[in-house]
């Protein structure tokens, strides 16, 4: 019997995790620079949380959720996204109050039952932020700027923000009506998904990537024509704030987000370094979600980043990450049983001093140990045989430069510290 990872899931192997850790550290650093704090929620929630928030007419809720009854028959769902769980956690723990701006970030696996294809997995990972409690356009601009800063930090270039406003609950229905009316004329010539969307979620037709639908989408009414004066004014202020923060943006009135709960500002960060599918993250406002899930009306804004995609982009663009932690600092190669004991004492002392180190456990020859050290990406190898034990001194080899230097047992740690700096 051979086991395999479930379809649509992937192991992230030790040769890949340094890059993941580096990306996660960059996220953490940027988010905390803007005073966002980490929140961790369970990977499963009551099913209703998602059907209520994401919308029963979305593909996610209709076809893509991992939903199952637990042993007591309660319907649970593996989280397909993290905004609703964060809102739920905030309400349950009373984090949201009128005089408090709550800024949170998260990391973690999400689950959607999709057809696995390049860049699409059933278990995938996201990082994201959510800010609750302010409708200030400057907060929109801050969140957007932060997302751009994150991708700059990760080494992406030619970044631009695609931005739109989809209006508030007062004006969005008019736009929705206009969209519905417009597409009704040609809907039979459009793709099956769009035909389904027309009744339940017409805005999502604007998101369709099917070539057959594009010529109709191009001429569709624009959200900007239906914004009421307040929404129009708000959008202008967001754009002005972006200008003052020197964030490059492009108003894209085709931009709507896939989920039902978005209001007002929606945005994507795109990089011109990438081809047609050039968006690297997306987000926006969702001012009604907190009330929808049982809280007091609370304006909110956030974005999420797909980490698999970011990792893939970094690999494709061969962005060099000097900070990647691969390998160890010291490998002690030994010849004979006595040398192994001495070597083991030395790596113990090295570890106590914060120097990552290792030794052979397989009884390998010196040549094989050198090879192993090379595979481990050891920075230094210290080679101990019988003579070395007597003189309490041995050759320290720098694996990069191949230089060798005689170093006493007692001076080893100081010597490595010098080199590591």
Summarize as ranges the residues that interact with Zn ion (CB under 5 A). Answer: 167-168, 170-171, 191, 194, 208, 210, 213, 228, 231
Cβ-based nearer residue to Zn ion, 193 or 415: 193
Cβ-based nearer residue to Zn ion, 208 or 376: 208
Cβ-based nearer residue to Zn ion, 196 or 292: 196
Shortest CB 60 distance to Zn ion, Å: 17
Cβ-based nearer residue to Zn ion, 154 or 187: 187
Residue 107 contacts residue 130 (beta carbons within 8 Å):
no
Cβ-based nearer residue to Zn ion, 30 or 60: 60
Shortest CB 168 distance to Zn ion, Å: 3
Residue 285 contacts residue 298 (beta carbons within 8 Å):
no
Q: How far apart are the C-alpha atoms of 417 and 141, rounded to whole Å?
A: 44
Q: How far apart are the C-alpha atoms of 359 and 226, rounded to whole Å?
A: 69
Cβ-based nearer residue to Zn ion, 277 or 348: 277
Cβ-based nearer residue to Zn ion, 134 or 369: 134
Shortest CB 92 distance to Zn ion, Å: 30
Shortest CB 235 distance to Zn ion, Å: 10
Shortest CB 213 distance to Zn ion, Å: 3
Shortest CB 173 distance to Zn ion, Å: 10
Cβ-based nearer residue to Zn ion, 177 or 210: 210
Rounded-to-10 torsion of CA 165, 216, 55, 255: -30
Reference 267, options 139, 86, 140; nearest CA is 140
Shortest CB 207 distance to Zn ion, Å: 9
Shortest CB 51 distance to Zn ion, Å: 24
Phi, psi of 164, rounded to the nearest 5 degrees:
-155, 165
């Amino acid at each position: 019997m051979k086991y395999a990872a479930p379809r649509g899931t992937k192991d992230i192997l030790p040769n890949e995790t340094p890059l993941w850790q580096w990306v996660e550290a960059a996220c953490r650093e940027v988010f905390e620079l803007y005073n966002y704090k980490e929140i961790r929620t369970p990977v499963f929630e009551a099913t209703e949380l998602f059907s209520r928030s994401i919308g029963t007419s979305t593909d996610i809720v209709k076809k893509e959720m991992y939903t199952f009854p637990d042993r007591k028959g309660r319907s649970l769902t593996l989280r397909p996204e993290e905004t609703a769980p964060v809102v739920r956690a905030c309400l349950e723990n009373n984090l949201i109050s009128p005089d408090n701006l709550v800024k949170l970030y998260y990391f973690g696996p999400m689950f959607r039952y999709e057809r696995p294809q390049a860049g699409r997995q059933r278990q995938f990972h996201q990082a994201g932020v959510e800010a609750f409690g302010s409708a200030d356009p400057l907060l929109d601009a801050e969140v957007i700027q932060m997302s751009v800063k994150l991708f700059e930090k990760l080494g992406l270039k030619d970044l631009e923000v695609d931005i739109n406003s989809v209006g508030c609950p007062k004006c969005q229905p008019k736009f929705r009506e206009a969209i519905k009316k417009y597409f009704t004329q040609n809907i039979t010539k459009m793709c099956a998904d769009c035909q389904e969307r027309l009744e339940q979620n017409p805005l999502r037709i604007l998101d369709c990537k099917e070539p057959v639908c594009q010529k109709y989408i191009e001429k569709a009414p624009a959200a900007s024509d239906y914004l009421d004066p307040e929404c129009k004014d708000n959008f202008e202020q967001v754009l002005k704030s972006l200008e003052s923060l020197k964030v490059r943006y492009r108003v894209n009135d085709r931009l709507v987000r896939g989920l039902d709960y978005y209001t007002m500002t929606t945005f994507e960060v795109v990089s011109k370094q990438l081809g047609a599918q050039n968006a690297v993250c997306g987000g926006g406002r969702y001012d009604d979600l907190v009330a929808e899930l049982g809280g007091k009306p609370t304006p909110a804004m956030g974005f999420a980043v797909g980490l698999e995609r970011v990792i893939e982009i970094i690999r494709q663009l061969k962005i060099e990450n000097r900070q990647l932690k691969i390998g160890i600092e010291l490998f002690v190669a030994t010849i004979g049983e006595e040398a192994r004991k001495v070597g083991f004492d030395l790596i113990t002392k090295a570890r106590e001093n914060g120097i990552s180190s290792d030794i052979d456990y397989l009884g390998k020859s010196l040549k094989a140990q050198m090879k192993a050290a090379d595979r481990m990406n050891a920075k230094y190898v210290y080679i101990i045989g019988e003579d070395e034990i007597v003189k309490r001194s041995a050759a320290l080899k720098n694996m990069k430069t191949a230089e060798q230097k005689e170093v006493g047992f007692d001076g080893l740690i100081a010597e490595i510290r010098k080199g590591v700096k």
